[in-house]
Amino acid sequence: MEITESLEHDLQQAPEWFHASIAIQPRLEDLQQPLGNLKYQVWDRKNTNNIVVLIHGTGAHKKWWNPIAPLFNQDFTVIAPDLPGMGESDHRVKYDFKAFSDSLLAILDQEQVTTANHKIYFVGHSLGGHLAGFMGSELPELAAGLIMIDSPIRPPSYNYDEHRSTGPLRKIKYYEDKISILERFRLMPPQDCKNSWYLRYIAEHSIQNVDSGWRWRFDDKLFATLKRLQGYEFNFQCPSLFIAGGKSLLLGSKIMSYIKEEFKDRMSIEVIEYAAHHIPLDEPLGLIKIINAYLDQWSAK
**Rounded distance, CA 2 to CA 97, Å?**
38
Name the pTM for this structure. Answer: 0.96
Domain residue spans of the chain: 15-155+233-299
Q: Which numeric CATH code is attached to 15-155+233-299?
A: 3.40.50.1820
Say if CB 283 and CB 194 are below 8 A apart.
no
pLDDT above 90 coverage of the chain, percent: 84
Q: Which one has a higher pLDDT value, 68 or 168? A: 68
Confidence at 224, pLDDT banded by 50, 70, 90 = confident
The three-state secondary structure class of 218 is: coil
Say if CB 146 and CB 136 are below 8 A apart.
yes
pLDDT above 70 coverage of the chain, percent: 96
Mean pLDDT of the chain: 94
> Which stretches within the chain are classed as H helix?
7-10, 16-22, 97-110, 127-138, 178-182, 196-204, 222-225, 253-262, 279-282, 284-299
**Mean pLDDT (whole number) for 278-299:** 98
Give 83-111 pLDDT, tens digit per residue. 999 999 999 999 999 999 999 999 999 99
Give 164-173 pLDDT, tens digit per residue. 555 555 578 9
Confidence at 26, pLDDT banded by 50, 70, 90 = very high
Across the strands, what pairs with 209? 214
pLDDT of residue 165: 56
**Mean pLDDT (whole number) for 21-44:** 97
**Mean pLDDT (whole number) for 65-70:** 98
- Taking only Cα atoms into account, the Rg of the chain, rounded to an integer number of angstroms, comes to 18
State which amino acid sits at residue 60. Answer: A
**Rounded distance, CA 258 to CA 74, Å?**
35
